[in-house]
Amino acid sequence: MMRFGPAGYPSAGKTPEGSLEYTKKLGLDCLEVEFVRGARISEDRAKAIGKKAKDLDIRLSCHAPYFISFNSDSEETRAKSIDWVMDTARAAHNLGAYLIVIHAASYGKTPETALPSVIAGLTKCKEMLDDEGIKDVVLGVETMGKLGQFGTLEEIAKVMDEVDGVHPVLDVAHVHARGRGCLKTEEDMQNLIDQFFPLCGDIAHFHISCINYGEKGEINHLPLDTKEPDLQLLADILEDTEQECNFICESPLIEEDAVVFRNMFPKYRS
C-alpha cells in the first residue's frame, strides 16, 4: 500500500482539523506535522488532532526542529538536541504519529565526530523513550542534501547498527542534490531504492520534491514539474512493489504536488 500527503497542514484548511479534512478531500491519506520551530502542543490538543486523523484514515508523521545538531561545538546545543527530539517524540505519541523526522547533525569543524555524536545522542533519546514507555514512535534520520550535513544512507545504516528504533527517511531530492544531479536514469533511481529498502523497516518513509542545487549540494526545493529529478522514474520503479510506502511532499506546492505524484501511479490515479 502507498500513501501520499503534504508536509504540513494545507493553508486552505484554516485549522489542523480543517486541513486534515481538506487533505482527505484531495484523495490524500498521510500528512507530516511540521514541528520545525519547536514541538509546542498540549497533550489534549495533540490527541484531538490525532483522533481526527485516525477517523479520516490519515497516517501522521512529525518533523522535528531544524536546530537539532548532535555534533555541535556547543555542549548546550547537544543537550538541547536531545530535548528537541524528545519533545517531538512525545507530541508524535500523543498525535498517534508513527515516526519523527530528524536532521541529525552537521559535520562542522570535526566531521570525524559526527557519527559517534549522532549515535550517542540518539542512544540517549531511545533510552529516555523506553523509560517513558513510548515504543510506538520511530526515530527517522533524514538523508540530507548539503555536503556539509550528516545524512547519507551509509551513515544512517551505521547509526542503525548501534541504536534500536532508528530508520532512514529517504529524501529523494536531497540525494539528487548531494550528488549534484545524480538521479538521471531509471537505473540510478533503482540503485537508490535497492540501497534504501533493506534499511527502511515496515514502512518506507519518503520525502519527495524537486530541487535546485550547486557545488555544495541543496539550495532550495522546487515543484515537481521542474523534473530535477524526474520523479516519474521513481513511480515507474515502485509501481508493482510490495513494500509499504509513505510519500510526504515537500515541494513549494505541498498538497498540489502530492496529488501530482500520486497520479504518476496508474493504480492510485483519481
Q: Which domains does the chain have, with CATH numbers?
A: 2-268 (3.20.20.150)
Beta bridge partners of 213: 218
Q: What pTM did the predictor assign?
A: 0.96
Please determine, for residue 161, whether its predicted confidence score (pLDDT) is greater than 70: yes
What local confidence, expressed as pLDDT, does residue 270 receive?
67
The residues that bridge with 101 in the sheet, in sequence order, are 63, 140
Query: Which tens digit of pLDDT belongs to each residue from 106-151?
Result: 999 999 999 999 999 999 999 999 999 999 999 999 999 999 999 9
Q: What is the pLDDT of residues 163-222, one digit of tens each?
A: 999 999 999 999 999 999 999 999 999 999 999 999 999 999 999 999 999 999 999 999
pLDDT on residue 179: 97
Q: Looking at residue 171, what is its pLDDT?
A: 98
Q: What percent of the chain has pLDDT over 70?
A: 100
C-beta of residue 213 within 8 angstroms of C-beta of residue 222: no
Q: What is the tens place of the pLDDT at every residue in 65-82?
A: 999 999 999 999 999 999
pLDDT of residue 140: 98
Query: 268 pLDDT band (50/70/90 cuts)?
Result: confident
